[in-house]
Protein backbone atom coordinates (compact mmCIF):
# COMPACT_ATOMS: atom_id res chain seq x y z
CA UNK A 1 0.00 0.00 0.00
CA UNK A 2 1.00 3.57 -0.53
CA UNK A 3 1.26 5.76 2.56
CA UNK A 4 -0.69 8.70 1.33
CA UNK A 5 -0.91 12.20 2.72
CA UNK A 6 -4.34 13.86 2.74
CA UNK A 7 -5.39 14.72 -0.79
CA UNK A 8 -2.65 12.58 -2.28
CA UNK A 9 -3.65 9.92 -4.79
CA UNK A 10 -3.78 6.38 -3.50
CA UNK A 11 -4.21 2.89 -4.88
CA UNK A 12 -6.04 0.50 -2.63
CA UNK A 13 -6.81 -3.20 -2.93
CA UNK A 14 -10.55 -3.51 -2.36
CA UNK A 15 -12.36 -6.40 -0.70
CA UNK A 16 -15.68 -5.81 -2.47
CA UNK A 17 -15.36 -5.02 -6.16
CA UNK A 18 -18.56 -4.60 -8.20
CA UNK A 19 -19.42 -7.86 -9.97
CA UNK A 20 -19.17 -6.38 -13.47
CA UNK A 21 -15.60 -5.17 -12.88
CA UNK A 22 -14.47 -8.32 -11.06
CA UNK A 23 -15.86 -10.63 -13.76
CA UNK A 24 -14.26 -8.66 -16.59
CA UNK A 25 -10.87 -8.68 -14.84
CA UNK A 26 -11.35 -12.34 -13.96
CA UNK A 27 -11.89 -13.19 -17.64
CA UNK A 28 -8.72 -11.29 -18.46
CA UNK A 29 -6.81 -13.20 -15.74
CA UNK A 30 -7.96 -16.58 -17.07
CA UNK A 31 -7.09 -15.53 -20.62
CA UNK A 32 -3.56 -14.53 -19.56
CA UNK A 33 -3.07 -17.97 -17.95
CA UNK A 34 -4.27 -19.65 -21.15
CA UNK A 35 -2.07 -17.40 -23.32
CA UNK A 36 0.94 -18.46 -21.25
CA UNK A 37 0.28 -22.04 -22.36
CA UNK A 38 -0.72 -21.17 -25.93
CA UNK A 39 -4.12 -22.66 -25.04
CA UNK A 40 -7.20 -21.70 -27.05
CA UNK A 41 -10.23 -20.44 -25.12
CA UNK A 42 -13.68 -19.30 -26.20
CA UNK A 43 -15.39 -17.02 -23.70
CA UNK A 44 -19.14 -17.53 -23.41
CA UNK A 45 -22.20 -16.27 -21.53
CA UNK A 46 -22.54 -13.24 -19.28
CA UNK A 47 -20.93 -10.07 -20.58
CA UNK A 48 -19.43 -11.90 -23.57
CA UNK A 49 -22.84 -12.41 -25.20
CA UNK A 50 -23.11 -10.21 -28.29
CA UNK A 51 -25.21 -7.09 -27.56
CA UNK A 52 -27.47 -7.90 -30.53
CA UNK A 53 -28.52 -11.08 -28.73
CA UNK A 54 -28.93 -9.62 -25.27
CA UNK A 55 -29.61 -5.87 -25.34
CA UNK A 56 -29.84 -5.67 -21.54
CA UNK A 57 -26.33 -6.46 -20.29
CA UNK A 58 -26.20 -9.30 -17.77
CA UNK A 59 -22.67 -9.90 -16.52
CA UNK A 60 -23.58 -13.20 -14.82
CA UNK A 61 -22.01 -14.48 -11.65
CA UNK A 62 -19.01 -16.42 -12.92
CA UNK A 63 -16.63 -16.69 -15.84
CA UNK A 64 -17.50 -19.35 -18.43
CA UNK A 65 -15.06 -20.57 -21.05
CA UNK A 66 -14.94 -23.46 -23.49
CA UNK A 67 -11.36 -24.70 -23.70
CA UNK A 68 -9.59 -26.66 -26.39
CA UNK A 69 -10.18 -30.17 -24.93
CA UNK A 70 -6.58 -31.16 -25.72
CA UNK A 71 -5.11 -28.57 -23.35
CA UNK A 72 -7.48 -28.95 -20.41
CA UNK A 73 -5.06 -31.06 -18.29
CA UNK A 74 -2.27 -28.44 -18.73
CA UNK A 75 -4.71 -25.58 -18.13
CA UNK A 76 -5.96 -27.28 -14.97
CA UNK A 77 -2.41 -27.54 -13.61
CA UNK A 78 -1.67 -23.89 -14.43
CA UNK A 79 -4.90 -22.68 -12.80
CA UNK A 80 -3.87 -24.43 -9.58
CA UNK A 81 -0.43 -22.78 -9.75
CA UNK A 82 -2.16 -19.38 -9.90
CA UNK A 83 -4.31 -19.90 -6.82
CA UNK A 84 -7.47 -21.41 -8.32
CA UNK A 85 -8.90 -24.44 -6.55
CA UNK A 86 -11.39 -27.03 -7.78
CA UNK A 87 -14.92 -26.38 -6.52
CA UNK A 88 -16.65 -29.21 -8.40
CA UNK A 89 -15.25 -31.73 -10.86
CA UNK A 90 -16.29 -32.72 -14.37
CA UNK A 91 -17.54 -35.99 -12.93
CA UNK A 92 -19.89 -34.55 -10.35
CA UNK A 93 -20.74 -31.04 -11.57
CA UNK A 94 -23.73 -32.05 -13.74
CA UNK A 95 -25.41 -34.92 -15.56
CA UNK A 96 -23.62 -33.77 -18.71
CA UNK A 97 -20.14 -33.84 -17.11
CA UNK A 98 -19.44 -30.80 -19.25
CA UNK A 99 -17.62 -28.38 -16.94
CA UNK A 100 -15.28 -28.21 -14.00
CA UNK A 101 -15.76 -25.31 -11.59
CA UNK A 102 -12.89 -23.46 -9.90
CA UNK A 103 -12.83 -20.76 -7.27
CA UNK A 104 -10.23 -18.06 -6.60
CA UNK A 105 -10.01 -15.68 -3.63
CA UNK A 106 -9.68 -12.63 -5.91
CA UNK A 107 -11.48 -13.63 -9.11
CA UNK A 108 -14.44 -15.71 -7.92
CA UNK A 109 -15.80 -18.68 -9.87
CA UNK A 110 -14.70 -20.11 -13.21
CA UNK A 111 -16.62 -22.73 -15.21
CA UNK A 112 -14.13 -24.50 -17.46
CA UNK A 113 -16.16 -26.27 -20.17
CA UNK A 114 -14.85 -29.15 -22.23
CA UNK A 115 -18.16 -29.17 -24.12
CA UNK A 116 -21.49 -27.41 -24.04
CA UNK A 117 -24.47 -29.56 -23.01
CA UNK A 118 -26.61 -30.29 -26.05
CA UNK A 119 -23.79 -30.34 -28.60
CA UNK A 120 -23.56 -33.96 -29.71
CA UNK A 121 -20.46 -33.70 -31.88
CA UNK A 122 -17.29 -35.08 -30.22
CA UNK A 123 -15.67 -32.42 -28.02
CA UNK A 124 -12.56 -31.73 -30.11
CA UNK A 125 -14.44 -31.54 -33.41
CA UNK A 126 -17.08 -29.26 -31.86
CA UNK A 127 -14.41 -26.95 -30.46
CA UNK A 128 -12.67 -26.72 -33.85
CA UNK A 129 -15.95 -25.67 -35.51
CA UNK A 130 -16.64 -23.04 -32.86
CA UNK A 131 -13.04 -21.81 -33.01
CA UNK A 132 -13.06 -21.51 -36.81
CA UNK A 133 -15.84 -18.89 -36.74
CA UNK A 134 -14.67 -17.07 -33.60
CA UNK A 135 -14.93 -13.34 -32.98
CA UNK A 136 -12.14 -11.36 -31.33
CA UNK A 137 -12.89 -9.09 -28.38
CA UNK A 138 -10.87 -6.91 -26.05
CA UNK A 139 -11.71 -7.13 -22.37
CA UNK A 140 -9.77 -4.97 -19.90
CA UNK A 141 -7.00 -4.59 -22.48
CA UNK A 142 -6.59 -8.34 -23.05
CA UNK A 143 -7.48 -9.92 -26.42
CA UNK A 144 -9.85 -12.88 -26.24
CA UNK A 145 -12.30 -14.77 -28.42
CA UNK A 146 -15.97 -15.69 -28.39
CA UNK A 147 -17.92 -18.07 -30.64
CA UNK A 148 -19.68 -16.52 -33.66
CA UNK A 149 -22.95 -14.66 -33.04
CA UNK A 150 -24.91 -17.61 -34.49
CA UNK A 151 -23.08 -20.04 -32.19
CA UNK A 152 -23.73 -17.72 -29.24
CA UNK A 153 -27.45 -17.77 -30.06
CA UNK A 154 -27.35 -21.57 -30.18
CA UNK A 155 -25.59 -21.62 -26.80
CA UNK A 156 -28.37 -19.42 -25.36
CA UNK A 157 -30.92 -21.89 -26.73
CA UNK A 158 -29.04 -24.88 -25.28
CA UNK A 159 -28.72 -23.07 -21.97
CA UNK A 160 -32.48 -22.49 -21.98
CA UNK A 161 -32.98 -26.20 -22.69
CA UNK A 162 -30.91 -27.16 -19.69
CA UNK A 163 -32.47 -24.64 -17.33
CA UNK A 164 -36.09 -25.10 -18.37
CA UNK A 165 -36.12 -21.70 -20.03
CA UNK A 166 -37.77 -20.46 -23.18
CA UNK A 167 -36.43 -19.61 -26.62
CA UNK A 168 -34.45 -16.35 -26.69
CA UNK A 169 -36.40 -13.53 -28.37
CA UNK A 170 -33.80 -13.29 -31.13
CA UNK A 171 -34.68 -16.80 -32.25
CA UNK A 172 -38.17 -15.66 -33.27
CA UNK A 173 -36.85 -12.63 -35.11
CA UNK A 174 -34.44 -14.57 -37.36
CA UNK A 175 -35.05 -13.94 -41.05
CA UNK A 176 -35.09 -16.80 -43.57
CA UNK A 177 -31.34 -16.60 -44.07
CA UNK A 178 -30.74 -16.63 -40.31
CA UNK A 179 -33.05 -19.61 -39.83
CA UNK A 180 -31.20 -21.52 -42.52
CA UNK A 181 -27.81 -20.70 -40.95
CA UNK A 182 -29.09 -21.90 -37.57
CA UNK A 183 -30.48 -25.12 -39.07
CA UNK A 184 -27.09 -25.83 -40.63
CA UNK A 185 -25.25 -25.04 -37.40
CA UNK A 186 -27.56 -27.24 -35.32
CA UNK A 187 -27.04 -30.13 -37.75
CA UNK A 188 -23.27 -29.54 -37.90
CA UNK A 189 -22.92 -29.59 -34.11
CA UNK A 190 -25.55 -32.35 -33.73
CA UNK A 191 -27.64 -30.29 -31.34
CA UNK A 192 -31.06 -31.31 -32.66
CA UNK A 193 -32.24 -33.19 -29.56
CA UNK A 194 -31.41 -30.40 -27.10
CA UNK A 195 -32.99 -27.75 -29.34
CA UNK A 196 -36.10 -29.93 -29.57
CA UNK A 197 -36.23 -29.91 -25.77
CA UNK A 198 -36.91 -26.14 -25.93
CA UNK A 199 -39.21 -26.18 -28.95
CA UNK A 200 -41.35 -28.96 -27.41
CA UNK A 201 -40.49 -31.45 -30.17
CA UNK A 202 -38.51 -33.83 -27.99
CA UNK A 203 -40.77 -36.80 -28.77
CA UNK A 204 -39.61 -36.67 -32.40
CA UNK A 205 -36.21 -37.82 -31.14
CA UNK A 206 -37.40 -40.72 -28.98
CA UNK A 207 -34.98 -43.10 -30.69
CA UNK A 208 -31.92 -40.92 -29.98
CA UNK A 209 -29.63 -41.95 -27.12
CA UNK A 210 -29.77 -38.45 -25.55
CA UNK A 211 -33.59 -38.34 -25.57
CA UNK A 212 -34.14 -39.61 -22.03
CA UNK A 213 -31.41 -37.39 -20.57
CA UNK A 214 -33.02 -34.28 -22.06
CA UNK A 215 -36.47 -35.47 -21.02
CA UNK A 216 -35.29 -35.83 -17.42
CA UNK A 217 -33.46 -32.49 -17.65
CA UNK A 218 -36.57 -30.66 -18.86
CA UNK A 219 -39.27 -32.47 -16.88
CA UNK A 220 -37.29 -33.79 -13.90
CA UNK A 221 -37.38 -37.32 -12.57
CA UNK A 222 -36.03 -39.69 -9.94
CA UNK A 223 -32.27 -39.91 -9.48
CA UNK A 224 -32.25 -43.50 -10.68
CA UNK A 225 -33.81 -42.50 -14.02
CA UNK A 226 -31.35 -39.62 -14.33
CA UNK A 227 -28.46 -42.04 -13.88
CA UNK A 228 -29.95 -44.46 -16.40
CA UNK A 229 -30.38 -41.55 -18.82
CA UNK A 230 -26.71 -40.60 -18.31
CA UNK A 231 -25.61 -44.18 -18.97
CA UNK A 232 -27.54 -44.63 -22.22
CA UNK A 233 -26.66 -41.11 -23.46
CA UNK A 234 -22.97 -42.05 -23.71
CA UNK A 235 -21.77 -42.38 -27.31
CA UNK A 236 -19.66 -45.48 -26.58
CA UNK A 237 -20.04 -48.68 -24.58
CA UNK A 238 -16.89 -47.73 -22.69
CA UNK A 239 -18.48 -44.42 -21.72
CA UNK A 240 -21.66 -46.15 -20.57
CA UNK A 241 -19.64 -48.56 -18.42
CA UNK A 242 -17.68 -45.68 -16.90
CA UNK A 243 -20.85 -43.78 -15.94
CA UNK A 244 -22.50 -46.97 -14.69
CA UNK A 245 -19.48 -47.69 -12.51
CA UNK A 246 -19.50 -44.24 -10.94
CA UNK A 247 -23.27 -44.13 -10.35
CA UNK A 248 -22.98 -45.59 -6.85
CA UNK A 249 -20.05 -43.34 -5.93
CA UNK A 250 -20.45 -40.62 -3.37
CA UNK A 251 -20.29 -37.07 -4.73
CA UNK A 252 -17.25 -36.12 -2.70
CA UNK A 253 -17.27 -32.54 -4.09
CA UNK A 254 -20.68 -31.92 -2.52
CA UNK A 255 -19.77 -33.72 0.68
CA UNK A 256 -16.61 -31.60 1.01
CA UNK A 257 -18.61 -28.39 0.61
CA UNK A 258 -21.26 -29.57 3.08
CA UNK A 259 -18.66 -30.43 5.71
CA UNK A 260 -16.42 -27.46 4.95
CA UNK A 261 -13.38 -29.78 4.76
CA UNK A 262 -12.12 -32.96 3.10
CA UNK A 263 -14.40 -35.82 4.19
CA UNK A 264 -12.86 -38.64 6.22
CA UNK A 265 -13.09 -42.17 4.76
CA UNK A 266 -15.72 -43.11 7.38
CA UNK A 267 -17.90 -40.15 6.32
CA UNK A 268 -17.64 -41.13 2.64
CA UNK A 269 -18.76 -44.66 3.52
CA UNK A 270 -21.64 -43.27 5.60
CA UNK A 271 -22.75 -41.06 2.71
CA UNK A 272 -22.62 -44.06 0.38
CA UNK A 273 -25.26 -45.86 2.44
CA UNK A 274 -27.42 -42.74 2.77
CA UNK A 275 -27.39 -42.44 -1.03
CA UNK A 276 -28.10 -46.14 -1.46
CA UNK A 277 -31.19 -45.90 0.76
CA UNK A 278 -32.34 -42.73 -1.08
CA UNK A 279 -31.86 -44.49 -4.43
CA UNK A 280 -33.85 -47.51 -3.28
CA UNK A 281 -36.69 -45.27 -2.06
CA UNK A 282 -36.80 -43.41 -5.37
CA UNK A 283 -36.66 -46.67 -7.30
CA UNK A 284 -39.47 -48.09 -5.22
CA UNK A 285 -41.55 -44.94 -5.75
CA UNK A 286 -40.95 -45.18 -9.51
CA UNK A 287 -42.05 -48.82 -9.60
CA UNK A 288 -45.10 -47.98 -7.51
CA UNK A 289 -46.07 -45.18 -9.91
CA UNK A 290 -45.65 -47.46 -12.95
CA UNK A 291 -47.73 -50.20 -11.32
CA UNK A 292 -50.37 -47.67 -10.36
CA UNK A 293 -50.56 -46.45 -13.95
CA UNK A 294 -51.53 -49.92 -15.26
CA UNK B 1 12.47 11.32 -14.70
CA UNK B 2 10.34 12.40 -17.67
CA UNK B 3 9.48 8.87 -18.79
CA UNK B 4 6.67 7.96 -21.14
CA UNK B 5 4.22 5.83 -19.21
CA UNK B 6 1.76 3.19 -20.36
CA UNK B 7 -0.16 0.30 -18.81
CA UNK B 8 1.87 -2.90 -18.46
CA UNK B 9 0.81 -5.49 -21.10
CA UNK B 10 -0.26 -7.77 -18.21
CA UNK B 11 -2.27 -5.08 -16.44
CA UNK B 12 -6.03 -5.52 -16.73
CA UNK B 13 -7.93 -2.24 -16.76
CA UNK B 14 -11.66 -1.97 -16.14
CA UNK B 15 -12.70 1.61 -16.88
CA UNK B 16 -16.32 2.37 -17.67
CA UNK B 17 -15.73 6.11 -17.40
CA UNK B 18 -17.26 6.10 -13.94
CA UNK B 19 -15.32 3.54 -11.91
CA UNK B 20 -11.76 2.42 -12.56
CA UNK B 21 -10.17 -0.83 -11.39
CA UNK B 22 -6.78 -2.21 -12.37
CA UNK B 23 -5.12 -5.53 -11.63
CA UNK B 24 -1.84 -7.21 -12.43
CA UNK B 25 -2.75 -10.39 -14.27
CA UNK B 26 -3.15 -13.22 -13.71
CA UNK B 27 -2.89 -13.10 -9.90
CA UNK B 28 -4.26 -9.72 -8.80
CA UNK B 29 -5.08 -8.07 -6.48
CA UNK B 30 -7.71 -5.73 -7.87
CA UNK B 31 -6.87 -2.10 -7.15
CA UNK B 32 -9.53 0.62 -7.02
CA UNK B 33 -8.48 3.98 -8.41
CA UNK B 34 -10.78 6.85 -7.62
CA UNK B 35 -10.86 10.61 -8.03
CA UNK B 36 -7.26 11.91 -8.17
CA UNK B 37 -5.72 8.46 -8.54
CA UNK B 38 -8.05 7.75 -11.49
CA UNK B 39 -7.09 11.10 -13.00
CA UNK B 40 -3.40 10.20 -12.65
CA UNK B 41 -3.94 6.78 -14.25
CA UNK B 42 -5.86 8.14 -17.22
CA UNK B 43 -3.26 10.89 -17.77
CA UNK B 44 -0.41 8.38 -17.40
CA UNK B 45 -1.89 6.23 -20.15
CA UNK B 46 -1.32 8.95 -22.71
CA UNK B 47 1.66 10.99 -21.57
CA UNK B 48 4.84 11.60 -19.64
CA UNK B 49 5.31 12.23 -15.92
CA UNK B 50 5.46 15.99 -16.59
CA UNK B 51 2.16 15.83 -18.44
CA UNK B 52 0.57 13.84 -15.62
CA UNK B 53 1.68 16.46 -13.09
CA UNK B 54 0.38 19.25 -15.30
CA UNK B 55 -3.00 17.53 -15.71
CA UNK B 56 -3.43 16.94 -11.99
CA UNK B 57 -2.25 20.47 -11.13
CA UNK B 58 -4.80 21.95 -13.50
CA UNK B 59 -7.63 19.76 -12.16
CA UNK B 60 -6.84 20.45 -8.51
CA UNK B 61 -5.71 24.10 -8.83
CA UNK B 62 -2.45 23.18 -7.09
CA UNK B 63 1.02 24.34 -8.13
CA UNK B 64 2.90 21.59 -10.02
CA UNK B 65 5.87 21.84 -7.64
CA UNK B 66 3.59 21.27 -4.65
CA UNK B 67 2.21 17.97 -5.95
CA UNK B 68 5.10 16.64 -8.05
CA UNK B 69 6.69 14.60 -5.24
CA UNK B 70 3.39 12.87 -4.43
CA UNK B 71 2.62 12.16 -8.08
CA UNK B 72 6.10 10.71 -8.65
CA UNK B 73 5.72 8.49 -5.56
CA UNK B 74 2.31 7.31 -6.75
CA UNK B 75 3.54 6.57 -10.28
CA UNK B 76 6.57 4.72 -8.87
CA UNK B 77 4.22 2.59 -6.76
CA UNK B 78 2.11 1.71 -9.81
CA UNK B 79 5.30 0.75 -11.67
CA UNK B 80 6.53 -1.35 -8.71
CA UNK B 81 3.19 -3.16 -8.63
CA UNK B 82 3.65 -4.08 -12.31
CA UNK B 83 0.70 -1.98 -13.41
CA UNK B 84 2.53 0.72 -15.37
CA UNK B 85 5.72 0.59 -17.40
CA UNK B 86 7.99 3.54 -18.00
CA UNK B 87 10.15 4.08 -21.05
CA UNK B 88 12.59 6.95 -21.69
CA UNK B 89 11.32 9.67 -23.98
CA UNK B 90 12.80 9.03 -27.45
CA UNK B 91 15.43 11.52 -28.62
CA UNK B 92 13.40 12.57 -31.63
CA UNK B 93 10.30 13.29 -29.54
CA UNK B 94 8.83 16.74 -30.18
Among the partner-chain residues B19, B27, B30, the one whose CB lies closest to the CB of A83 is B27
Q: How confident is the model at residue A6 (pLDDT cuts 50, 70, 90)?
A: very low
Name the residue in chain B with its Cα closest to that of A4. B70
DSSP characters over A174-197: --HHHHHHHHHHHHHTT-HHHHHH
Query: Alpha-carbon dihedral of residues A74, A248, A101, A95, nearest 10 degrees?
Result: 110
A16 touches chain B (CB under 8 A): no
Q: Strand A108-113 relative to strand A99-104: parallel, antiparallel, unpaired? A: antiparallel
A6 touches chain B (CB under 8 A): no
Q: What are the pLDDT digits (tens) for A111-135?
A: 999 999 999 999 999 999 999 999 9
Q: What are the pLDDT digits (tens) for B6-57?
A: 999 999 999 998 899 999 999 999 999 988 999 999 998 878 899 999 999 9
Predicted confidence (pLDDT) at residue B94 exceeds the cutoff of 70: no
Nearest-CA distance from B75 to chain A in Å? 10
Q: Domain ranges in chain A?
A: 248-294
Among the partner-chain residues A11, A82, A142, the one whose CB lies closest to the CB of B27 is A82
Q: How confident is the model at residue A57 (pLDDT cuts 50, 70, 90)?
A: low
Q: Strand A63-67 relative to strand A108-113: parallel, antiparallel, unpaired? A: parallel
HSE-CB at B59 with a 13 A cutoff on CA atoms is 17
Mutation to test the B interface, candidates A14, A21, A31, most B Cβ within 10 Å: A21
Q: What are the pLDDT digits (tens) for A161-175?
A: 888 778 888 888 899
Predicted confidence (pLDDT) at residue B84 exceeds the cutoff of 80: yes
Q: Domain ranges in chain B?
A: 4-82
With an 8 Å Cβ cutoff, the interface of chain B facing chain A consists of 7, 10-14, 16, 19, 21-23, 25-33, 35-37, 39-40, 56, 60, 70-71, 73-74, 77-78, 81, 83
Among the partner-chain residues A10, A14, A142, the one whose CB lies closest to the CB of B30 is A14
Candidates A264, A263, A246, A243; CA nearest to A254 is: A263
Cα–Cα distance between A79 and A75 in angstroms, integer? 6
Q: What is the pTM of this model?
A: 0.80
Q: So what's the pLDDT on residue A7?
A: 42
Distance of CA B74 to the CA centre of its chain: 8
Task: Note if the bond before B20 is cis, omega within 30 degrees.
Answer: no
Cα–Cα distance between A148 and A121 in angstroms, integer? 17
Q: What are the pLDDT digits (tens) for A69-79?
A: 999 999 999 99
Q: So what's the pLDDT on residue A165?
A: 76
A18 touches chain B (CB under 8 A): yes
| More confident call, B85 vs A60 | B85
Predicted confidence (pLDDT) at residue A89 exceeds the cutoff of 60: yes
Cα–Cα distance between A109 and A46 in angstroms, integer? 13
| More confident call, A252 vs B85 | B85
Amino acid sequence: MIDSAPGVPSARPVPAVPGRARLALSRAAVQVIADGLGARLLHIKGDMVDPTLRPAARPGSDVDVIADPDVIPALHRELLVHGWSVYSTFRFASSFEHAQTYIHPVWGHLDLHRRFPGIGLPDQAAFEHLWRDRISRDVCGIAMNTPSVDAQLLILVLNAARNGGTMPEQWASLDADGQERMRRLIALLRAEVAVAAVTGDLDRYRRHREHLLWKVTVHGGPRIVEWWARIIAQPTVRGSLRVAAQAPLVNTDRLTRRLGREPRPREVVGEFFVRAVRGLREGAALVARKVGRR
Amino acid sequence: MNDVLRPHPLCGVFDDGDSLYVARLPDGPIIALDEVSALVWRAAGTGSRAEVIATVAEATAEKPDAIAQHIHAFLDDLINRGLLVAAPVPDDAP
